Structure 1
Amino acid sequence: MRVHLGSDHAGLELKDHLTAWLLDHDHEVVDHGPFVYDALDDYPVFCLRAGEGVVADRAEGRMSLGVVIGGSGNGEQIAANKVTGVRCALVWSEETAVLAREHNDANVVSVGGRMHSLEDMTRFVEVFLATPFPGDERHVRRIGQLSVYDETRELPPLPASALRGPDGTDSPSESADA
């Protein structure tokens, strides 16, 4: 599988480690940088490119995933999620790595290089890459709602249960719109 990598200075050591690990496990690596330590680098430069790479590959029918890495992983996740078609999940355990794939069909994972040991983070990425998306209807439906919103900026309709207040009357926000 092709794996796109991007990080900031705080994730550089893990990115370099992951590059070697991925190659040892027969993955094709596309490294979007950085390539040298610079404490003032800007993670969006690298994480946006990793996300774009995943989306472009998938548009061509190639299975690829992405990994973005920073100190906490938060900013990197936000950056990757700005790319239309990316679903990037911040993971901090094996369970969150599995759920990111099984429930959200995440195609990019974000990890915090300062939050966990090198071994743990490698394991999170390994689990993420190995976990398939089973395609359960409820998850496909939810992902579809997000995709439609991305394209149209129209909110999905509220379910009937959300149109009633706790006392059984119409919800004030919905009845005012009616």
Structure 2
Amino acid sequence: MRVHLGSDHAGLELKHHLATWLVEHGYEPVDHGPLSYDPDDDYPAFCLRAAEAVAAERAEGRDSLGVVIGGSGNGEQIAANKVVGVRAALAWSDETATLAREHNDATVLAVGGRLHPLDDMTRFVEIFLRTEFSGAERHARRIGQLADYERTHELPPLPASAEPPAGDA
């Protein structure tokens, strides 16, 4: 499986570590940068490229995933989620890494290089890569609603339980 990597200067050390770890564990890492430390770099340049590569390869039927890394992972997750067809999730625990794939079928994982020890972040990535989407109907339905909105920009209908009673304004 190909794993596309993107980061900023705060995630550079983890990205280099992950590239080696991925090879050692049978994955094919693709590094979208940065390649060297620059405290003034901008994560969108690298994370958007990683996310676009994931989306393009998955559209071709490949089983590619991505990992984007920054100081907190928040900006990197936001950037990746701007790419049509990508679902990026921020992981800060084993459970969030699992649920990102199992419930949300996330295709990109974001992690914060300044928030966790290297071993923890590596484990989050490993869990993410090894976890399959459950395929449960409720999760597939929700992902379908998001994909429909991404395509049409039409909001999904509210469930009957969310409608105000007749006569209420």
Q: Is TM-score (shorter-chain normalized) higher than 0.5?
A: yes
CA-CA distance at 1:147 after TM superposition: 0.4
Q: Over aligned residue pairs, what C-alpha RMSD do you find?
A: 0.9
Deviations 1:1-27 (A, max 9, x none): 100000000000000000000000010
Which residue is equivalent to 1:132? Answer: 132
User: Does the Cα contact within 8 Å between 1:5 and 1:32 map onto a contact in 2?
Assistant: yes
The residue identity in structure 2 corresponding to 1:119 is D
Match of 1:42 in 2: 42
Matches within 5 A, 1:137-176: 137-164=137-164, 168-169=165-166, 172=169
Residue equivalent to 2:92: 92
Measure how far apart 1:61 and its partner are. Answer: 1.0
How far, CA to CA, are the matches of 2:65 and 2:142 in structure 1?
20
- 1:157: how far off? 0.5
The answer as to 2:83 corresponding to 1:83 is yes
Cα separation, 2, equivalents of 1:170 and 1:161: 16
CA distance in 2, matches of 1:171, 1:44: 45
Which SS does the other structure have where 1:36 is aligned? coil
Amino acid in the other structure paired with 1:114: R
Partner in structure 2 of residue 175 of structure 1: none
Give structure 1 regions of 4+ aligned residues with deviation exceeding 2 angstroms.
168-172
Give the TM-score taking structure 1 as reference length. 0.93
- The equivalent residue for 1:29 is 29
Distance, in Å, in 1 between the alignment partners of 2:7 and 2:79 is 11
SS in 1 for 2:110: strand
Correspondence 1:111-130 to 2 at 5 A:
111-130=111-130
Return the alpha-carbon distance in structure 1 between the equivalents of residues 124 and 31 of structure 2. Answer: 19
Aligned-pair identity in percent equals: 72
Question: Hey, what's the Cα distance between the residues in 2 that align with 1:85 and 1:23?
Answer: 26
Question: Partners in 2 of 1:147 and 1:61 — Cα distance?
Answer: 17
Change in 2 beyond 3 A, CA 1:29/1:161: same
Offset, 1:59: 1.2
Q: Secondary structure at the match of 2:85?
A: coil
Q: Deviations over 1:154-178 (max 9, x none)?
A: 00011100002xxx44553xxxxxx
- Aligned residue number for residue 65 of structure 2: 65
Contact 1:77 1:90 in 2 (8 A): yes
Q: Where does the alignment leave 5 or more consecutive residues of structure 2 unmatched?
A: none
Residues in 2 aligned to 1:109 and 1:170: alpha-carbon distance in whole angstroms? 45
Paired with 2:168 and 2:52, the residues of 1 have a C-alpha distance of 41
Considering only CA atoms, is the larger Rg found in Structure 1 or Structure 2?
A: 1
